[in-house]
Amino acid sequence: MVNEDLNVIAEKEQAARKKIVIRCCMAAGCMSSKSEAVKKNLEQAVNEAELSDGVEVRGVGCMKLCCEGPLVSVDSQNALYEKVTPENALELVQTLKGGNTGIKRGDWNHPFFKKQMSIVLANSGEIDPERIEAYIAVEGYQALLTVLREMTPKQVVEEMVKSGLRGRGGAGFPTGIKWGTVAKTESAQKYVICNADEGDPGAFMDRSVLESDPHSVLEGMAIAAYAVGANQGFIYVRAEYPLAIKRLQTAIKQAKQLGLLGSSIFESPFNFNIDIRIGAGAFVCGEETALMASVEGKRGTPRPRPPFPAESGLWGCPTLINNVETFANVPPIYRKGAEWFASIGTEKSKGTKVFALAGKINNTGLIEVPMGTTLRQIVEEMGGGAPDGREIKAVQTGGPSGGCIPAQHLDTPVDYDSLMKLGSIMGSGGMIVMDDSTRMVDVARYFMEFCVDESCGKCVPCRAGTQQMLHLLEKILNRKATGHDLAKLEELCDMVRHTSLCGLGQTAPNPTLSTLRFFRKEYEELLQPEEFGRYENGEARALK
Amino acid sequence: MQHASGDKRFKILEAFMKKYQFRHDALIEILHKAQELFGYLEDDLLLFVAFKLKLPPSRVYGVATFYHFFTLKPQGKHTCVVCLGTACYVKGADKVLAAVEARAKIKAGETTPDNELSLLTARCIGACGIAPAVIYDGAVTPRQTPETALEQVKGWISHGQ
Amino acid sequence: MAAKTLTIDGTQVSAEEGATVLQVARDHGIEIPTLCHLEGVYDVGACRLCLVEVAGIAKLLPACTTKISEGMELKTNSERLQKYRRMTLELLFAERSHVCAVCVSNGHCELQTLAYSHGMEHVRYDYCFPKWKVDVTHRLFGMDHNRCILCARCVRVCWHIEGAGTKNVSGRGASANIINDLNQPWGQSDSCTECGKCVMSCPTGALFHKGSTVAEMVHDRDKLEFIVNAREKKQWIV
Amino acid sequence: MDRLKVATVWLGGCAGCHMSFLDLDEFLIELAGKIELVYSPVVDVKEYPENVDVCLIEGAVCNEDNLEILHKIRARTKVLVSFGDCAVTGNVPALRNKLGLHNVENILQRAYVENAQNNPAIPKADGIVPRLLERVTPVHEAVSVEYFLPGCPPPADRIKALMTQVLGGKEPKLEGANLKFG
């Protein structure tokens, strides 16, 4: 495979393009609403209407407005059809011949679409994720080619530092610095791992990226591997994402066939292979060291850091771990340049962020917006507010590690530091909207129960502390707790946060702490008076 | 060595292990395959894997019990997995689960005595856009209510009706 | 090996590169509490009792796995650390059922000793009272899961000193549990070499030599008859 | 100066702590000069009095009667001391909690029927035989407690050390050999 071959494939793909493309969403959300049958019927209808010469029915990745799925678009009409059923596929195709249809039409000019800025999701809903040619036709693998031909690994790292990209998995560690550390560590063997163990309940960005544009992740990994000097990569995907796994397997196979993975990529000395590792249902495996243990086929328990994976990771070798969205950002950065990327977003948070918008909100689905977009723009304009005329009460970001941001802070720009200041975190990008019917203590209890279930059990504060915190939250909800219990809960939050071994435990108190911060009244309303002289004034009483 | 039972599935499993060169780091993939073949991981099967991979049985057992995906008990003929992710939860997945629990007279994680239905929960299946979602025999189904869920599992619950 | 100079609780000390904070502190007579650390097997940093404050680092670091570095300034016994340690101990006591009064290790239990040294005269958290079994199927040893704190010392000695790999942790979170082989009764374990290292390594009374528990005390009722006869019938020689 | 009003109470426990209290021997005489024992299993007072200064509580909270008197004690006493392991931790009486909630009937069945040699029957007499609580708790889970004296039982010298401090109006500090469970 050389440059020319890539161009040949791209040209061929473009030449084969038919006049009209009907895109049918084939991501997991729409597929659960029978989009596969919709696609099949569309194809049949196109054939029966003898339109197949000029019309292509294309299965594509996520078209973002999941709540209205199955989604179908017709580019010649600039139309988006919503809630298409296998039954009205024929009717839809007839519109190409001037027929009418009663199928619900979406509005591309709605802020939900208009306010999006697609870098990571540029190909999502556009190309067929199961064909590498489709990816190549949209400049796919060009970045890898450029990097291998024209840049030294050191330059690749420098470019990444310049871009200002920060890890999209949660904590927002600068990607360039991470790459640089792994690159600098000397070792005959290094690894690159893609963390696709998207465990936050309420997050499905990474699933969508893998289902919609798997090659962008592979290309990103290959560029990272070249930069840090690794020749083996692993993608750790959760077993709950069978479609993403299937599409990744297809993508890896195709890339290998074309020589874009394997030995001497683009006739350079660079070799890189990727294997898939399937998780088995353990949230803690999203934590780097636990994930590595799991890749090694062990119990996914974390270990203390340092040593950091960059120095001693998989099988003791330097290992680079980035998340799916981080890798998907890589090819565009090298195609368009670090300056271009750094011009998007805010001073300290560059680029865009993909969010999974869900919960009590009218438009649920996937959005990608520049960093710095306010929460209000996201939930009110794009999301269309809460359904049934209710008020938005809070937005939960960061899953069980994050917090609930109350409505009065909706004008906060979404970036790593602003969210942190509010006691939440960016997290991987799950955004759950809660309306005024939501009881915040129950939300705290929900997340604490999650942490109790998902604690690996290795360290005492996380294993035993979360159990006690859950017990106290339940006691409060059952109206059996006093102010003394609330004080105990707060003390435990502080302790578990500062003494737990890994991120799971260290952030487990966050949903409780943030609801206590903004919705303390809801807790206090549930408290019982201090009968029986329980520690009045917080002090034990001495005689005299 | 062949498995004493002569069950062909052990042969398939062994071939799968061979594909991974009996590597220790493939243990989780192998357990996935074993569960796919046998439906659940019984002691005999875990022992076979331990023997073939040259691992202490306690290691295999430790891994098999760490991950929620693996089950050491046989599952019912049908499965109903209620997603309890945040998006599903705030949209009433708890009520869907409660309805099925009440009708099937089992708790989440249990199987009906006639072995027809296993009721399970998931932490998030990433189908938040169509919440609440339930997986009936592998098919993700969007926007469930207690009524639609009961309609789905109706045919799988016969006992006590 | 190069020597490093560091400060522990205000005292300047020097030690060889590569040593852990815990080693250096102990070498200089500074006691840092631990439960999961055991000389001779690798450290896991799980009990969180040995956390120390390092100047310039926001996070608390476990002394057992943190290597010393030049100029390091450590606090090993601040008020904050003492508070966290006492809470950790209380959490352990509340998690399973540690009934000192009927425990084989009463008086020589590391958990109990640490509770005393941290002034834990009561546990403020509600006891969980989980239902755990006692396995006395082994010829020589017993395991009472109610007293287990999951330090995994027994697992580490079984794997890395004896090399038998009999014991491991199974499950996770609150249901994490020490098992033998495929979670079978200890007495039926094929791999156990009966070396007894696990029993020696256990910081509490979870693993014990049989014959030493309260319920196993053998009552010799014939002696009563002997005494009665001796007193009443003056009959000492039967 | 008025003598301090001291009470001791025996909830769910074996009375071993009270036995240990009696082991104070000659200190009891010294104590008698300083305190007035207003309520105790060893004195014949039926109703827990008002305005008690110190109350030593032996035993865990096992039944409704325990809970009722404890509430009364808390309301009428300045300083409560959890006296012995049962009061401090639940100890042996709380072992039944491991059988889970809703096991009260099973426990009674085991004690009064399965193990009975004569007249197997679960004693039931509302208003006379107090009902068991679902869950046995240490005293401080039911009411606030100022001081704790663990031990099974706490030996006399430790009781003496604590009493000396409490009666002296000091906050007792259990240190070294004075802090011991079991």
In three state form, how does the secondary structure of chain C look? Answer: CCEEEEEECCEEEEEECCCEHHHHHHHCCCCCCCCCCCCCCCCCCCCCCCEEEECCCCCCEECCCCECCCCCEEECCCHHHHHHHHHHHHHHHHHCCCCHHHCCCCCCCHHHHHHHHCCCCCCCCCCCCCCCCEECCCCCEEEEHHHCCCCCHHHHHHHHCCCCCCEEEECCHHHCEEEECCCCCHHHCCCCCCCCHHHHHCCCCCEEECCCCHHHCCCCCHHHHHHHHHHHHCCCCC
Residue A31 forms part of a structural domain? yes
Mapped onto helix, strand or coil, the DSSP state of residue A219 is helix
Q: What is the pLDDT of residue C166?
A: 96
pLDDT tens readout for residues A329-348: 999 999 999 999 999 999 99
The radius of gyration of chain D from alpha carbons, rounded to an integer in Å, stands at 17
Q: Across the strands, what pairs with A247?
A: none
B62 token code pair: 């430790």
Residue range(s) occupied by CATH 1.10.10 in chain B: 8-66
Mean pLDDT of B27-52: 96
Q: Are residues A184 and A327 in the same domain?
A: yes
Q: Are residues A425 and A301 in the same domain?
A: no
CA–CA separation, A231 and A190 (whole Å): 7
Q: Are residues C108 and C199 in the same domain?
A: yes
CB pair distance less than 8 Å for C84 and A495: yes
Cα–Cα–Cα angle for D147, A496, C125, nearest 5°?
Answer: 30
Task: Give domain limits for chain D.
Answer: 4-96+133-172
CATH number of domain containing A253? 3.40.50.11540
At C26, which amino acid appears? Answer: R
Q: Are residues C44 and C116 in the same domain?
A: no
Percent of chain A predicted with pLDDT > 70: 97
ipTM: 0.93
Mean pLDDT of A142-170: 95
Q: What is the pLDDT of residue B59?
A: 97
A446 token code pair: 């929900």
pLDDT at B159 over 80: no
Q: Are residues C133 and C201 in the same domain?
A: yes
Helix A153-163 crosses helix A214-228 at what angle (to 10 degrees)?
Answer: 120
Mean pLDDT of A30-54: 93
In the DSSP assignment, the letter for residue A345 is B
Residue C153: give the domain boundaries.
Answer: 84-216
Which of the four pLDDT bands, split at 50, 70 and 90, describes residue D126?
Answer: confident
Write the residue in D74, D78, D142 that is nearest to A543 by C-beta.
D78
CB pair distance less than 8 Å for A542 and D169: yes
Chain D: residue whose CA lies nearest to A481 = D141
Which of the four pLDDT bands, split at 50, 70 and 90, describes residue C219?
Answer: low
Residue range(s) occupied by CATH 3.40.30.10 in chain B: 78-156
- Biggest CA–CA distance in chain B, Å, is 53
CATH number of domain containing A518? 1.20.1440.230
Mean pLDDT of B85-106: 92
Which of the four pLDDT bands, split at 50, 70 and 90, describes residue A470?
Answer: very high
Residues present in chain B in total: 161
**What is the fold, at CATH topology level, of the domain defined by B8-66?**
Arc Repressor Mutant, subunit A (1.10.10)
**Closest CA of chain B from A450, distance in Å:** 8
Q: Are residues A454 and A431 in the same domain?
A: no
CA–CA separation, C209 and C195 (whole Å): 12
Regarding beta strands A319-323 and A191-196, do their DSSP bridges make them parallel or antiparallel, or are they unpaired?
Answer: parallel
Q: Are residues C98 and C165 in the same domain?
A: yes
pLDDT tens readout for residues A250-278: 999 999 999 999 999 999 999 999 999 99
CB pair distance less than 8 Å for C179 and B43: no
Q: Are residues A251 and A320 in the same domain?
A: yes
Q: Are residues A324 and A372 in the same domain?
A: no
Write the residue in B70, B125, B129 that is nearest to A365 by C-beta.
B129
Residue A360: give the domain boundaries.
Answer: 352-435
CB pair distance less than 8 Å for A499 and C48: yes
Mapped onto helix, strand or coil, the DSSP state of residue A107 is coil
Write out chain D residues lying below 8 Å of A541, CB-based: 78-79, 146
pLDDT tens readout for residues A411-465: 999 999 999 999 888 888 889 999 999 999 999 999 999 999 999 999 999 999 9
In the DSSP assignment, the letter for residue D179 is -
Residue C25 forms part of a structural domain? yes
CA–CA separation, A387 and A401 (whole Å): 26
Q: What is the pLDDT of residue D64?
A: 93
**What is the fold, at CATH topology level, of the domain defined by D4-96+133-172?**
Rossmann fold (3.40.50)
Please say whether the beta carbons of A350 and A325 come within 8 A.
no
CATH number of domain containing A423? 3.10.20.600
Which of the four pLDDT bands, split at 50, 70 and 90, describes residue A544?
Answer: very low
CA–CA separation, C165 and A130 (whole Å): 45
pLDDT tens readout for residues A192-207: 999 999 888 888 999 9
The CATH number that domain B78-156 falls under is: 3.40.30.10
C107 token code pair: 């008086």
Q: H-helix or E-strand containing A80? A: strand A79-81
The arrangement of strands across the sheet holding C3-8 comes to C11-16, C3-8, C73-75, C51-54, C61-62
Chain C: residue whose CA lies nearest to A497 = C59
pLDDT at A503 over 90: yes
B66 token code pair: 């760490």
Q: What is the pLDDT of residue A536?
A: 42
Q: What is the pLDDT of residue B46?
A: 97
